Structure 1
Amino acid sequence: MLTKLEKAEKRWGGSHNLIDQWINHRRKLLIQYFIVAGLAPYSRSEKSLPSMDQVKQFCAQLVDYVSEGHFEVYNNVVKACEKFGEASIETANGLLPMISESTDIALDFNDKYTDAVDEQVLYQLDNDLSHLAQAMESRFELEDELIELLYQRLP
């Protein structure tokens, strides 16, 4: 996921404030994911789990990212696509329902871990993170299609 982010930064970085903001927030989310998952360069000892506080910070970042997409970024992309004709609008509107599928997975993950009263739930974290990562990777690919749609039309 990080490699794809770096490619996105190289391809689209600096082309539009909205794109730069979106990519920057994705980077922050991925860093939090790596911390919670214990992935390099944030590895932790083999048998340790992240703290509930770390998991809750990741959940907050996750919800912020997902919310920003639905309530700010996607609307702005669709509005920008209106200038580019019906085909652009249809493409953008076709991607949004597919992106929403990952939103449900992200919100379920958030609910499970932010509402947890027992740290025993952390023993399920690896499997849940794996499932979430698959959904988010698909989401990032779809979001990149939206970014490309906008980028292709920039002056």
Structure 2
Amino acid sequence: MLESCRNAQERWGGVHLLIDRWLKERHELVKAYDGLGAEPGALAQNPKPLQEFCGLLVDYVSAGHFEIYEQLTGEAKAFGDQRGLELAETIYPRIDVITEKLLAFNDLCDEGECVAHKFQELGGLLHERFELEDCLIEVLHTAHKEKAEAQA
């Protein structure tokens, strides 16, 4: 998962400061997840790293929904990219489902009920979400960047 995070930064890093910051947050989230993944059974014994991870998780999810997706959709509308908007309409509902599950995990941890199997499930959800987000960035942002450069 960390490798795909690096690949996303290499492909889109520098394109837009907002996306750069978000991809950096993704990288930090993945590092925190990997750090916890070595001993998921020990999460109850030392809750501080888990709490830090959950904070990163909520920040990352929030940035996606309240900043990045809005920015990407706005770009697609500005450039009249109907294909990109249709893709977003297809992908956003799945991201919403994943978001609900990620936030439910955070709530479990807040209640002190975080268990190892839920933590392992979280990895798959994050991986899927990152792939969907990368697809959105590719279609909704990169294509518009090229159009803007051509018009300049």
Counterpart CA distance in 1 for 2:19 and 2:142 is: 9
Structure 2 CA distance for aligned equivalents of residues 21 and 93 of structure 1: 24
Q: Give the letter aligned to residue 28 of structure 1.
A: E
Task: Give 1:20-31 correspondences, 5 Å limit.
Answer: 20-31=20-31
Shift of 1:18: 2.2
| Aligned pair partner of 1:143 in 130, 133, 136 | 133
Taking structure 1 as the reference length, what is the TM-score of the superposition? Answer: 0.84
Q: Distance in 2 between matches of 1:2 and 1:31?
A: 7
Equivalent residues of 2:29, 2:57 under 8 A apart: yes
Q: Decide which of 56, 59, 65 is 1:64's aligned counterpart.
A: 59
Distance (Å, rounded) in 1 between the aligned partners of 2:42 and 2:100: 25
What does residue 18 of structure 2 align with? 18
Which 5+ residue runs of structure 1 have no aligned equivalent? 39-43
Amino acid of the residue matched to residue 14 of structure 2?
Answer: G
Report if the CA contact (8 A) 2:6-2:27 is conserved: no
- Paired with 2:19 and 2:102, the residues of 1 have a C-alpha distance of 22
Identity percentage of aligned residues: 35
Whole-Å separation in 1 of the counterparts to 2:77 and 2:94: 20
Q: In structure 2, what is the Cα distance between the partners aligned to 1:96 and 1:48?
A: 33
**SS of residue matched to 2:42:** coil
1:70 Cα deviation from its structure 2 partner:
0.9
Deviations 1:84-104 (A, max 9, x none): 222222222221111111101
Shift of residue 114, structure 1, vs aligned partner: 1.3
* CA RMSD between the two structures: 1.7
User: What amino acid is aligned across from residue 59 of structure 2 in structure 1?
Assistant: D
> Taking structure 2 as the reference length, what is the TM-score of the superposition?
0.86
2:48 maps to: 53
- The one-letter code of the counterpart of 1:32 is A
For residue 92 of structure 2, what is the aligned residue in structure 1? 96
| Equivalences, count | 142
Unaligned runs of 5+ in 2: none
The answer to which structure has the higher helix fraction is: 2
The list of structure 1 runs, each at least 4 consecutive aligned residues, that deviate by more than 3 angstroms after superposition, is none
Tell me the residue number matched to 1:41: none
Query: Partners in 1 of 2:21 and 2:30 — Cα distance?
Result: 14
- 2:75–2:144 Cα contact (<8 Å) kept: no
- The answer on whether the counterparts of 1:92 and 1:146 sit within 8 Å (CA) in structure 2 is yes
Structure 2 counterpart SS, 1:15: coil
